[in-house]
Amino acid sequence: MIPNIKTELPGPEARKYIEISKKYEPNSMSDQVPAVWSKGRGAVVEDVDGNVFIDFTSGVLVTNIGHCHPKHTAAIQEQAAELMNAYDFVNPWRAKLAQKLVEITSPNLDKAFILSTGGEATEAAIKVARRYAGKYEIIAFHGAFHGRTYMAMSVGGKQGVKRHFGPMVPGILHAPFCYCYRCIFEQTYPECDMTCLRYLDRMLETESTGSVAALITESYQGGAGSIIPPGNYMQRLKKWCEDRDIVFILDEVQSSFGRTGKMFAYEHWGIQPNLLCLGKGIGSGVPISALVGESRILDPLEPGSMSSTNGGNPLSSRAALTSIQIIEEEKLADRSARLGKMMLVRLDEMKAKYEMVGDVRGMGLAVGVEIVTDKASRKPDAEMTRRITQEAFNRGLIMIAPIGFYGNVIRIAPPLVIEEEHMMKGLDIMEEAIRKLS
């Protein structure tokens, strides 16, 4: 039976490890529900006490092919017995992964630099854009999350990531993103004609020194609350960059590899980024990332100017190639699109029934549910959001700690292999929690 809760939560073994964690680890990780994971298969996880849960997290949008996919696991085990590190010497798996990434991304992207983490991909993108353009300013957006290293934090658009870590890297210009549910200009789409986008020119006139190298944006804003750009926003943003000879960096660390119902989210809008940051789902649990870009931007780098100790190591590269192969063979992008539509229908029904469900938005299996005190005021209710995730956990559903500007958005992102039955059961549990707390 799934889910299957056998003990009080957290159970005795979980409490033991939570206490060890509190004693020996810094209090810097996200404040998740008290689950101590032990095993995973597909979209199901088991804790150290044998309790079984439906997973609506994918380990923060990582395990797109599901936990411990047999083909993925076998490739990792086989490679671990052969070679795990080669520094930046060429190895077959890194070379083949670079080739594969060039083949499956847009035609203008013809070089791939294999790295270790999403933040590292962000750093690399900004470095090469600055070097190529001979300029230093970077345009980023309110609400953005691009990683936790210093440049990545600096282009990030939420104080929570940066608080007390200042000063940030200079040369960053921030503009409002298209958060239509809470428009900072208090306008309504589409009548607004995207005032937030047109504001970019005013920002240049008032804040820039005339040295803009690049603009970086997520395909949709994850940490800010799963904020999906409306209409042709992304096409217009790309055109705005083209008209000003600004390098367009697209951060798809969490939105790629089938997550939004396409292999890459930019396919929804028919645009081509100049630089593309990838991570998370590329390795489905094995740390790896990549920067895929145009050779005109990447080729000027001389030998030794950028490298990585673990980036492109044989084990991670083979894991990534296998993950991509599984996504293609099992048509997981199509599956994500189909299940995502079903999920949005169900969540829209909840929105119509419950006053606390203020907004529902998503693409594929990347979905956000905004919890409010009431629909009229749209006042964020962070405490209720946390209570919902805890109540759902008690009933056998694991969700990520609430996200968004105000901590009032439930992020739903199950593995793309989730069984329809388990997805609907997870939504049943979520509704039971909302009904109980209404």
- The CB-side HSE value for 295 (13 A sphere, CA atoms) comes to 6
Which is more confidently placed, 160 or 36? 36
312: alpha, beta or left, given left = phi > 0 and alpha = psi -120 to 50? Answer: left
**Radius of gyration (C-alpha) of the chain in whole angstroms:** 21
**Residue with token string 């396409």:** 262
Region for 42 from its dihedrals, namely left if φ exceeds 0, alpha if ψ lies in -120 to 50, beta otherwise? left
Q: What is the mean pLDDT of residues 364-384?
A: 98
What is the reported pTM?
0.97
Domains annotated on the chain, with CATH: 12-65+332-437 (3.90.1150.10), 72-329 (3.40.640.10)
Measured CA to CA, the distance from residue 225 to residue 411 in angstroms comes to 7
Q: Are 252 and 266 in contact (CB under 8 A)?
A: yes
DSSP per-residue codes, 164-218: TSPPPPS-EEEE----GGG-TT---TTTT--HHHHHHHHHHHHH--S-EEEEEEE
Angle made by CA atoms 352, 356, 362, in degrees to the nearest 5: 65
pLDDT higher than 90, residue 361: yes
**Which amino acid, residue 284?**
S
| Beta-sheet strands, E only, within 27-159 | 37-41, 44-47, 52-55, 111-115, 137-141
The pLDDT score that the predictor gives to residue 160 is 87
pLDDT in the model for residue 24: 98
What average pLDDT does the segment 257-263 reach? 98
pLDDT at 1 over 90: no
**Statement: residue 400 has pLDDT above 90:** yes
Give percent of the chain with pLDDT exceeding 90: 98
Q: Is the pLDDT of residue 33 over 90?
A: yes
Beta-ladder partners of 411: 368
3-state class (DSSP) for residue 108: coil
Give the distance, in angstroms, between the CA of residue 41 and the centroid of all CA atoms in the same chain.
21
Q: Of how many residues is the chain composed?
A: 438
